[in-house]
Structure 1
Amino acid sequence: MTRFRASAPASRRFPSRCSTSSSCGAGRSTASARASTSWPSSPISTSSCWSTRRPELLMRILLLLCNTAAFLALWCAGCATDAPEPYLPEDVGQTVEGPGLVSRGAHLYMKYCQPCHGAEGKGDGPAADVLDTPPRDLTAGQFKFRSTPMGSSPTAGDLYRVIALGVPGTEMPAWGDRLGEQEMWSIAAYVQTLEPGFGDEATRPKPEAVIDIPAPPELGADAVASGQKLFGQFGCTSCHGEDGRGGGPSAADLEDYTGRPIAPPDFSTGVYKSGPRPRDLYRTIATGVSGVPMPGYAGALKPDQIWQVVAYIRSLRQERGVFDYLLATDPGRL
């Protein structure tokens, strides 16, 4: 539809084809159309051409809005569901060998990881200041998600798993669907060279120390009830709260190893930073989380009891609507 200037002569106010076209339903002569037509009050013409096209335009806008809403709903739902699993090593040694593995990993690290983690792995990359979650300092030896005891360095398999799955709820993406297995092994091998503890015999991960994750027992309603009791009995509620939403009495005073205030996760979201699978939760409960006040319970709980706590935590998940994600004030806890 053409927009007209106020200085346009009367003969140019409306194109003659709109006045005489049968599709407009006018059926009038050009002269009679000009005589009976007044100057529109807005730049959009209110002629019958607009009347016939308006429903189609409104329908297109409605379909666009519906498609956008559907996309957002599916995307947000995917944030709290189990994603397709890439290849993930579970039982690997402390090293990964191969010709040129570290040098290739250094090249890939500078391409994909350096913008956040920095050229030297200190978490000071050019994008670090704009991220809600500070990037991990890979030289500090404080790797959160490990299959090794507290105070030990992670295995190459632990690093590979974090690279492949990312860290849900943070800006650390999952590279499992973007990089090949050899590329992720290369990055893992290079990251090990950044961590001084890996070269220290006292903290170097030993294959025999890697936690064994047994197959889960039946995790029904009884397991959930038992897990809830253990959750309170072993002090989990002091940080995570009675409802598992991270509002426990100690939550406001929590800090990481750098002194930065941190918040416990909200289990009702169904988003777990250690990974989407039940075994990822089991591993974190058993080994603890380095650099934060989350201890490991492998020596305090039996394997079946850890699985019961896993069952209870996963039972706390609540469905979230699209507006819960769009209006969240703390997206890192969603």
Structure 2
Amino acid sequence: MMESRPDRGDLLPVYQPGGMCGRWAVLLVFIGALGCDRGPDSFPVNRVFARNQKLARTLDEFDTPRVTVLLKDIDRVVTRYFGVPGDPLMPSCEGVELGPLFALADLRHAAGFVEQEAGHVEPGLYRDLCVRCHGTSGDGSGRLARGLNPYPRDYRRGIFKFKRTPSTLPPTDADLHGVLLRGIPETAMPSFRDLSPSQRGALVQYVRYLSIRGLFERAVMMEVAITFDDDDRLLDPKQQEVSPTAYARQVEMLDAILNEVVQPWLDVDEQMADVPPVPADYDAPQSTARGRELFFTTLTNCGTCHGNTGFGDGQTEDYDDWAKELEPANPEALADYLALGALPPRYAEPRNLRLGTYRGGDRPEDLFVKFKNGIAGTTMTSVATQLTDHDIWCLVSYARFLPRDPVFREERGAESRE
């Protein structure tokens, strides 16, 4: 099924799980990965979020001297800490050791331009394998992104779905490695199992770098929106000579913002969900029956989105957190965001649990984590405070039972014979 995008002229089929369009979109991703994409050697300023924070209240305001200077200041500040795509920097700030998060050699291995030497790929892994979908800055708006469903992840929000940490806390290294190893079923995200461990490790570091960079840029914009007057400068180079004390205060403020952004990433290993061993009888009939009961209670509200039969046909007119930031109910604001390069928001699609394929891992313990923590950025909330671990295992049992439900299989068999 082709979904047209009149604002781009039907350049690509929209990827849908299964079917011809899905195969074509995935093929395009891999064909694109074969070539050499130098791309820009600067990160684009997040103008969409600048509009969201009302640094510019209209599109025309982006051309005013005040906003032009402000966005240049923001770009200069972010570049000061993080460098550019072809020459990333390991950010540093007073009193914070970032060594556990980044190794400059790994960042350079993942970043930069693609160079073919002696038949192997040298620095530029991200640009070679990822940028066409995820974009130079990790904004999820690469040149193939508009034709994919779901859209590629926007790393700049710092929100990741498939992880063992609760709520919107950052993922661990193991979480990101897991996504690279498994891929994400029924999306255009392939497995990178064929890469060496060191290559996957470099990509993990670079994804984290892009995410922290994006969060820092957003935090700086929020600080400007809340505390700055029209004539304030973010980091005025002239002050370094004219008023070193004032310049030092500006740097101190920026260091504090970076510190606040990176601290959750430094503490992430302490926040992982505790996953008890899978009970031997977790999928016993009585456990499945209990899981079904819980599935339809207000304690979990699973049926609200996944539907009474688990087909994912419950609540189908809601947005995830990435789309909500585009204010889809505000036509004027949405039109501005789209003009600034945002992808058109789409309704979130609750998982069809009858398929028996699960993004982010399909082992019982993987589903346990999804129920216990929820899935960040979506309406699937944590049940950790409502249910015991025993009840969560019962939900896992029911979810894994749905694809092999004999009543469902009998009904589908009858339909296929008609």
Once the two structures are TM-superposed, the CA of residue 125 in structure 1 deviates from its matched residue by 1.0
- Structure 2 unaligned residues grouped into runs of 5+: 1-18, 20-98, 112-123, 217-257, 325-344, 413-418
- Looking at structure 1, the residues matched to 140 and 188 of structure 2 have their Cα atoms a distance apart, in angstroms, of 13
Aligned mate of 1:103, from 104, 108, 128: 108
- Whether the 8 Å contact between 1:269 and 1:318 is mirrored in structure 2 is no
Structure 2 residue matching 1:317: 3-state secondary structure: helix
1:170 aligns with 2:232: no
Match of 2:291 among 218, 227, 232: 227
Between the aligned partners of 1:171 and 1:121, the Cα distance in structure 2 is 16
* Counterpart residue identity of residue 291, structure 1: G
CA distance in 2, matches of 1:98, 1:169: 33
Pick from 157, 164, 167 the counterpart of residue 150 of structure 1: 167
Q: Are 2:159 and 2:169, in contact at CA under 8 Å, matched by a contact in 1?
A: no
State whether residues 185 and 357 of structure 2, in contact with CA within 8 Å, keep that contact through their aligned partners in structure 1: yes
CA distance in 2, matches of 1:300, 1:237: 16
Aligned equivalents of 1:104, 1:298: Cα separation in 2: 39
SS in 2 for 1:283: helix
Instruction: Pick one of 256, 268, 273 that aligns with 1:211.
Output: 273
Residue in structure 1 matched with residue 197 of structure 2 by the alignment: 181
**Structure 2 counterpart of 1:246, one-letter code:** G
Q: Helix, strand or coil for the counterpart of 1:190?
A: helix
Structure 1 stretches of 4+ moved >2 Å = 94-99, 196-199, 201-206, 318-321
SS at match of 1:298: coil
Q: Distance in 2 between matches of 1:140 and 1:98?
A: 22
Per-residue Cα deviation, 1:229-277 (whole angstroms, up to 9, x for no partner) = 11112211111112111122xx122211113311111000001112222
Which amino acid in 2 is paired with 1:216?
Answer: V
The Cα RMSD (Å) is: 2.6
Is 1:253 the counterpart of 2:253? The answer is: no
Partner of residue 140, structure 1: 157
Normalising by structure 2, we get a TM-score of 0.51
TM-score, normalising length: structure 1: 0.63
> What secondary structure, in the 3-state scheme, does the structure 2 residue paired with 1:224 have?
helix
CA–CA separation in structure 1 for the residues paired with 2:151 and 2:128 = 19
Which of 296, 300, 304 does residue 238 from structure 1 map onto? 304
Of 103, 112, 123, which residue of structure 1 is paired with 2:140? 123
- Distance in 2 (alpha carbons) for counterparts of 1:318 and 1:166: 24
Work out whether residues 295 and 395 of structure 2, in 8 Å CA contact, stay in contact via their aligned partners in 1.
Answer: yes
- In the other structure, the counterpart of 2:31 is none
Compute the displacement of 1:102 (Å). 2.0
Contact 2:168/2:377 (CA < 8 Å) preserved in 1? no
Query: Radius of gyration: which is bigger?
Result: 1
Q: Structure 1 residue 316: deviation in Å?
A: 0.5
> Aligned partners of 1:95, 1:210: CA distance in 2, in Å?
17
What secondary structure, in the 3-state scheme, does the structure 2 residue paired with 1:211 have?
coil
Q: Which consecutive residues of structure 1, in runs of 5 or more, have no partner in the other structure?
A: 1-71, 73-93, 325-334
The question of whether the paired residues in 2 share the 8 Å contact of 1:96 and 1:185 is answered with no
Q: Tell me the number of residue pairs that the alignment of Structure 1 and Structure 2 aligns.
A: 228
Q: Hey, what's the Cα distance between the residues in 1 that align with 2:139 and 2:168? A: 19
Identity %: 31
Which amino acid in structure 1 is aligned with residue 146 of structure 2?
D
